[in-house]
């Protein structure tokens, strides 16, 4: 669903700052090590709201952080900690294998650590102070990828620790209900611990789970869903299906929104802000990105260096270029490029376009988006077409899409097909049903269902997205699909009064979940089947609890791993009216 792109501001709770003296939650392999193990202790990243596009809340769904700064809080567990979805390495490492060479280097580093420090022991957590070293047994993985254990019955969050590990952790912050700590030493490592495959894993703040085997990541995400429904819906044994993972969890992101800045005063950088800091980390060669995206970002930097476009500075609000957004089509291999600027003026525009075209023949369209405000959103309201094609052509299955720069489109096309097939199964269409696709964006889900439905009606707040959806329907020959600008909670009751009552309601909201007014409208309209697609298990479970109380039965939950190596998990849920 297209909504204005957002960029997370974290310390990843996150959806798309504060300075910190030391990188909280990190165990540097050159300083700390795993006892009697070849794997260095490394920190996991929490979710810094990764690079959202869908709207101010949807950013976290995409796994990217695009803004410097401060930590925000999540209502369901604790402050989130920074993250996105990048990295560099080989497939074997990504699948969980640590190389012997790296392991031996880490072992050498571990043996070089200083003399043992005294561990703090007490009968109560109340006597703990910042800086104390404590021993913690990790019981589970938290929602941001951190290890969760207990010290004298008080929860301790330790980024980088894994379930089953016994670790020494240094107290970094003490809150009334929990303790934040950094990983100092792993006394008993987990068999699921692997060497992170990205050299920037402890810097860029993107992935939260690279130190965990992919199989263990999938187990942890499935458990996150179970815990959310137990906690917020009161279902101790929710009907969860096995999570759908990827065969090769690398190179899956088809879009990047990267901040532009200067390093060493004059070196141009496109990247992400390190968690809890204003340090911009260049993520050139990120293996989570489609290689075409990496190539375009390098070409953009070369062109910008030649033309010397002033770079925007977040603190002083001086300069022009804020963000570079690149999206690649898996259908054609071509790329759509958008430059986000702080003002409408773009000095040297024609020269810049000429340099970009020379450096990047794979780019088929260049646009400028104007975002003058201090905002967590990547995109502003105005988009100016500079050159080439205004839309990027894409295809999922048999459905064709034309995507404008601000249109939301799922970032992992391979997993999107699995997710949408689950939606199709849940809708159980026979050709006679009327379907409403709320939060429809550019019409992706509605058009996926159109061949099996009698009628599709999509609802979306962003006019550009609705225009894209109409074009997409025309391109795919879906003459039974129409798309409307507005709010579902207002349009749904109006349609019912006019004689249109949907048999199936599909929602795919931002991370904040469905608006209460929409849920109230749905309970009034009473569609037979309610299909809920979610990027946040906590808000999903809360909304499902309201629907269950309103007369629906939860049939099944299908988790899908849309963003490997991050803590994010997508779900498709089927609820049927009792």
Q: Is 535 a catalytic residue?
A: yes
* 532 is known to lie in a ligand binding site: no
Q: Which two tokens stand for residue 147?
A: 């290890």
Q: How far apart are CA 513 and CA 482, in angstroms?
A: 24
- Three-state DSSP at 573 gives strand
Residue with tokens 């898996």: 330
Relative to beta strand 434-438, strand 455-460 is: parallel
* 410 is known to lie in a ligand binding site: yes
- Using an 8 Å Cβ cutoff, are 377 and 408 in contact? no
Q: How far apart are CA 311 and CA 314, in angstroms?
A: 10
- Using an 8 Å Cβ cutoff, are 439 and 462 in contact? no
Q: How far apart are CA 406 and CA 378, in angstroms?
A: 10
- Using an 8 Å Cβ cutoff, are 85 and 566 in contact? yes
Residue with tokens 């980088």: 160
- Using an 8 Å Cβ cutoff, are 329 and 394 in contact? yes
Residue with tokens 């796994």: 63
Report the phi/psi class of residue 37: left, alpha or beta, with left for phi > 0 and alpha for psi in -120 to 50: beta
Residue with tokens 């006597």: 127
Report the phi/psi class of residue 160: left, alpha or beta, with left for phi > 0 and alpha for psi in -120 to 50: left
* 460 is known to lie in a ligand binding site: yes
Q: How far apart are CA 570 and CA 560, in angstroms?
A: 5
Q: Tell me the H-state helices in 115-213.
A: none
Q: Which two tokens stand for residue 317?
A: 């609000």
Terminal CA-CA length for the chain? 29
Q: Which two tokens stand for residue 271?
A: 């990247």
Q: How far apart are CA 519 and CA 516, in angstroms?
A: 5
Residue of 335, 446, 352, 443 lying closest to 389 (CA atoms): 335
- Using an 8 Å Cβ cutoff, are 562 and 569 in contact? yes
Of 198, 535, 571, 572, the catalytic one is 535
Q: Which two tokens stand for residue 54?
A: 């869908």
Residue of 68, 90, 547 lying closest to 315 (CA atoms): 68
- Cα→Cα distances 524→130, 182, 367, 517, 521, Å: 52, 49, 43, 11, 5
* 421 is known to lie in a ligand binding site: no
> Which residues belong to the annotated binding site for S-adenosyl-L-methionine?
410, 439, 460, 508
> Which residues belong to the annotated binding site?
410, 439, 460, 508
Q: Which residues are catalytic?
A: 535
């Amino acid at each position: 669903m297209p909504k204005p792109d957002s960029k997370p501001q974290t310390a990843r709770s996150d959806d798309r700052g504060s300075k910190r003296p030391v990188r909280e939650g990190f165990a540097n392999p050159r300083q700390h090590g795993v006892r009697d193990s070849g794997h260095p202790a490394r920190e996991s990243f929490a979710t810094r709201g990764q690079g959202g596009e869908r709207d101010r809340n949807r950013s976290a769904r995409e796994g990217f952080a695009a803004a410097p700064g401060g930590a925000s809080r999540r209502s369901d567990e604790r402050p989130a900690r920074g993250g996105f979805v990048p990295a560099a390495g080989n497939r074997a490492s990504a699948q969980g294998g640590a190389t012997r060479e790296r392991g031996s280097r880490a072992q050498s580093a571990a043996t070089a650590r200083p003399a043992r420090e005294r561990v703090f022991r007490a009968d109560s957590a109340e006597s703990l102070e910042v800086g104390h070293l404590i021993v913690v047994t990790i019981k589970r993985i938290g929602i941001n990828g951190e290890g969760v254990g207990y010290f004298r019955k008080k929860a301790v969050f330790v980024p980088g620790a894994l379930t089953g590990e016994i670790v020494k952790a240094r107290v970094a912050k003490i809150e009334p209900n929990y303790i934040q700590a950094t990983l100092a030493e792993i006394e008993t490592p987990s068999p699921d611990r692997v060497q992170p495959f990205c050299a920037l894993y402890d810097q860029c703040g993107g992935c939260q789970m690279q130190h965990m085997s992919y199989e263990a990541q999938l187990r942890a995400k499935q458990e996150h869903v179970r815990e959310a429904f137990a906690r917020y819906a009161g279902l101790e044994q929710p009907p969860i299906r096995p999570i759908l993972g990827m065969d090769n969890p690398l190179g899956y992101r088809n879009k990047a929104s990267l901040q532009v800045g200067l390093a060493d005063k004059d070196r141009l950088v496109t990247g992400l802000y390190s968690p809890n800091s204003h340090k911009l980390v260049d993520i050139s060669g990120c293996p989570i990105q489609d290689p075409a995206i990496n190539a375009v970002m390098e070409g953009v930097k070369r062109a910008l260096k030649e033309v010397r476009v002033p770079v925007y500075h977040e603190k002083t609000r001086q300069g022009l270029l804020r963000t570079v957004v690149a999206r690649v089509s898996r259908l054609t291999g071509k790329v759509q490029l958008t430059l986000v600027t702080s003002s409408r003026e773009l000095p040297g525009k024609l020269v810049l376009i000429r340099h970009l075209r020379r450096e990047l023949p794979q780019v088929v369209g260049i646009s400028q988006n104007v975002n003058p405000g201090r905002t967590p959103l990547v995109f502003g309201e105005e988009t100016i077409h500079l050159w080439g094609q205004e839309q990027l052509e894409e295809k999922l299955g048999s459905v064709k899409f034309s995507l404008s720069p601000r249109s939301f489109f799922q970032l992992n096309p391979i997993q999107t097909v699995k997710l949408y097939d689950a939606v199709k199964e849940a809708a159980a269409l026979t050709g006679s049903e009327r379907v409403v696709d709320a939060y429809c964006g550019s019409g992706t889900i509605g058009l996926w269902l159109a061949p099996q439905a009698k009628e599709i009606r999509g609802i979306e707040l962003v006019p550009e997205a609705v225009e894209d959806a109409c074009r997409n329907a025309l391109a795919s020959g879906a003459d039974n699909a129409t798309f409307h600008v507005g709010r579902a909670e207002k349009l749904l009751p109006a349609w019912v009064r006019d004689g249109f009552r949907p048999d199936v309601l599909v929602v795919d909201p931002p991370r904040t979940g469905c608006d209460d007014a929409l849920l109230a409208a749905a309970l009034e309209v009473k569609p037979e089947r309610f299909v809920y697609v979610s990027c946040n298990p906590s808000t999903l479970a809360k909304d499902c609890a309201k629907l269950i109380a309103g007369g629906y039965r939860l049939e099944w939950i299908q988790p899908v791993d849309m963003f490997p190596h991050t803590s994010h998990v997508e779900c498709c849920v089927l609820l049927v009216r009792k």
